[in-house]
């Protein structure tokens, strides 16, 4: 992984990660991409056209969330990822922040199998993988931060998620959606940062946080 964009990403991460992004982290990130390439013909964890561009379209985009995961979770807080698919963004984030406690929920049994293989191969601890739909398989959100990068219908997910988020929890929404009517107690921040300015993030990022109860 020697592309210019990846080096830019590492430079942005350097002041955020106290232990640095060393060889062990880089090896884990490379191993994750290799697993995606190996298993994608069988499991379809990313679109076929993305396989040749995993670093640019998936890895770096995932790493762009690290500053905001740190803002809400710190280095060892709890993160929930809904619709984890091939493990983006949560597995790259977990590689950089190994003390993070993460819960992955995925409805596809084949993708759950892939995630289990990936977590074992990356030797990651503090990872729980749940097979099922949200919120049926996980009715209570107990996390400081939520991601859902691969969800097919984020507009439908939003009201269901926000009603279950605890105070202070933040949803890092990577879909360009307007919060739907009927959910009153949230704050929305549209992020324009160095990652976005350098075209290292694929799309938009909205931070939607539950601050008060109605």
Q: What is the pLDDT of residue 211?
A: 67
Specify the pairing of strand 206-210 against strand 186-190: antiparallel
**Out of 76-90, 147-161, 172-186, least confident range:** 172-186
What are the residues facing 171 on neighbouring strands? 146, 208
- Give the model's confidence band at 159: pLDDT under 50 very low, under 70 low, under 90 confident, else very high: confident
Q: What is the pLDDT of residue 154?
A: 80
pLDDT in tens, 67-109: 999 999 999 999 999 999 999 999 999 999 999 999 999 999 9
pLDDT in tens, 54-71: 999 999 999 999 999 999
What are the residues facing 104 on neighbouring strands? 81, 129
Give the start-to-end residue ranges of the domains of the chain. Answer: 4-210
CATH architecture of 4-210: 3-Layer(aba) Sandwich (3.40)
Which runs of consecutive H residues, i.e. helices, occur in the chain? 4-13, 23-43, 54, 60-63, 66-73, 90-96, 109-122, 154-162, 194-197
Q: Burial of 167 by CB count in 10 Å (0-12 exposed, 13-18 middle, 19+ buried)?
A: exposed
Q: Is the Cβ–Cβ distance between 205 and 174 less than 8 Å? A: yes
Q: Is the Cβ–Cβ distance between 5 and 59 less than 8 Å? A: no
Tell me the pLDDT of the chain averaged across its residues.
91
């Amino acid at each position: 992984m020697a592309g210019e964009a990846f080096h830019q990403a590492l430079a942005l991460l350097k002041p955020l990660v106290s232990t640095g992004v060393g060889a062990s982290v880089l090896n884990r990130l490379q191993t994750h991409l290799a697993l995606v390439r190996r298993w994608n013909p069988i499991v379809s964890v990313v679109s076929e056209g993305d396989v040749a561009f995993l670093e640019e379209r998936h890895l770096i985009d995932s790493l762009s969330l690290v500053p905001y995961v740190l803002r809400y979770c710190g280095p060892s807080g709890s993160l929930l990822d809904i619709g984890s698919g091939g493990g983006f963004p949560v597995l790259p984030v977990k590689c950089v922040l190994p003390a993070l406690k993460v819960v992955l929920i995925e409805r596809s049994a084949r993708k759950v199998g892939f995630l289990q293989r990936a977590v074992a191969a990356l030797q990651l601890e503090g990872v729980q993988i749940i097979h099922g739909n949200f919120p049926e398989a996980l009715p209570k959100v107990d996390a400081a931060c939520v991601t859902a990068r691969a969800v097919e219908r984020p507009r439908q997910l939003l009201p269901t998620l926000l009603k279950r988020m605890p105070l202070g929890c933040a949803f890092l929404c990577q879909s360009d959606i307007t919060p739907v009517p009927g959910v009153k107690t949230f704050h929305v921040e549209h992020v324009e940062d160095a990652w976005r300015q350098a075209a290292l993030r694929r799309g938009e990022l909205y931070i939607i946080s539950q601050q008060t109860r109605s």
